[in-house]
């Protein structure tokens, strides 16, 4: 694909998860020195993307599906910028083959998600939600759900010790919990530096609380299945603020119904939301929030701003801050070239593997 000519207008489309206003986006694009025609849409399907995005030079996306057949129909697209940490809705291998740079905004909501996970842990361990419901129904009995355990006698097992997992670990330690973690990409010394002991998956899921903080990849899809749930400590709690499909929802529901687990805190489900009337909604020991862990005014504005900055970098022919498919940068198919010239690595350029 040829380079953009100096002064040529770039078409940028936000496919979904659009804000009520476009002040953040207009500020970044307006100050970029590029001529950018930016539009916001609310697309949900592959067909809608194919119908409305074929002229785009870059896409800003959240959840809309972008399989190979869609990517192949976007001949001008140089970059796909995710307004989130996860990028599992795009065929990353196809994007790389086609020379499309995929970026995310890793770390934009780290404090919020870590807080949410620990909020689940506290609510579950102290029976806060259930006791609130019983009081409001007319039952004043602090013994209703049995003895809670002192947190300083318990262990938190973390799956995925990236940015969010690390912050969750530090928060848990402040409450006196021992923390172990399973993550093949973090070595024993790195974990020890934040007071965490490195263990395998089997030991991590044998903790009193298990909190999931890994990316959704083909390797982690349904990582927490019936066999892994059977390895969890009887009476343990499962917390998921990562991606719903890391957990087999049906297997989790069955384990909870059987009384093997004491409860669960879920910000994400698979599918999302679960169908109306799904049995997981009726379980009193499950606290569910609507994929809200990331949400704060600060996080939303930071995510929007950084997503736009990644788009600008791609259109300028500069290496973005967070490239999810770094192999594309060495590909002869790379489309990322702008009026400023060919793609040139920057000092802060690419983390080989973006992590939550």
Active site members? 243, 272, 291
Phi-psi sector, 289: left (phi>0), alpha (psi -120 to 50), beta: beta
Q: Is 47 exposed, middle or buried (0-12, 13-18, 19+ CB in 10 A)?
A: exposed
Radius of gyration of the chain from its Cα atoms, rounded to whole angstroms: 22
Phi-psi sector, 176: left (phi>0), alpha (psi -120 to 50), beta: left
Q: Which residues have a Cβ under 8 Å from the Cβ of 301 and sit 6 or more positions away?
A: 24
The two three-digit tokens of residue 229, written as one number? 């749930």
H or E segment at 178? strand 178-182
Q: Which residues have a Cβ under 8 Å from the Cβ of 328 and sit 6 or more positions away?
A: 95, 96, 99, 100, 101, 102, 334, 336
Whether 225 and 251 have beta carbons less than 8 Å apart is answered as yes
Q: Which residues have a Cβ under 8 Å from the Cβ of 208 and sit 6 or more positions away?
A: 149, 154, 155, 156, 233, 235, 236, 237
């Amino acid at each position: 694909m040829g380079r953009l000519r100096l002064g040529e207008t770039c078409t940028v489309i936000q496919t979904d998860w659009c804000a009520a206003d476009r002040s953040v986006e207009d500020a970044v694009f307006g100050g970029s020195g590029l001529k950018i025609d930016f539009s916001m849409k609310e697309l949900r399907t592959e067909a809608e993307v194919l119908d409305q995005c074929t002229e785009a030079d870059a896409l800003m996306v959240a959840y809309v599906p972008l399989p190979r057949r869609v990517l192949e129909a976007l001949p001008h697209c140089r970059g796909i910028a995710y307004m989130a940490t996860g990028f599992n809705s795009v065929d990353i291998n196809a994007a790389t083959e086609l020379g499309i740079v995929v970026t995310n905004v890793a770390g934009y909501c780290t404090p919020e998600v870590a807080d949410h996970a620990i909020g689940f842990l506290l609510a579950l361990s102290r029976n806060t939600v259930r006791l609130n419901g019983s009081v409001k129904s007319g039952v004043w009995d602090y013994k209703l759900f049995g003895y809670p355990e002192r947190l300083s006698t318990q262990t938190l097992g973390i799956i995925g010790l990236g940015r969010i997992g690390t912050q969750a670990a530090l928060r848990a330690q402040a409450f006196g919990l021992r923390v172990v973690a399973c993550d093949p990409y973090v070595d024993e010394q790195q974990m020890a530096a934040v007071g965490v002991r490195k263990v395998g998956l089997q030991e991590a899921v044998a903790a009193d609380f298990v909190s999931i903080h890994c990316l959704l990849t083909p390797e982690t899809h349904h990582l927490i299945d019936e066999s892994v749930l059977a390895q969890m400590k009887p009476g343990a709690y499962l917390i998921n603020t990562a991606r719903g499909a890391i957990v087999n929802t049906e297997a989790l529901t069955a384990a909870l119904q059987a009384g093997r687990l004491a409860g669960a805190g879920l910000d994400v489900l698979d599918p999302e939301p679960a169908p109306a009337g799904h049995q997981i909604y009726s379980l009193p020991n499950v606290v569910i929030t609507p994929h809200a862990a990331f949400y704060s005014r600060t996080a939303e504005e930071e995510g929007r701003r950084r997503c736009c900055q990644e788009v600008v970098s791609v259109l300028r022919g500069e290496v973005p801050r967070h490239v999810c498919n770094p192999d594309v940068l060495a590909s002869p198919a790379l489309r990322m070239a702008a009026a400023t010239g060919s793609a040139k690595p920057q000092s802060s350029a690419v983390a080989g593997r973006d992590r939550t």
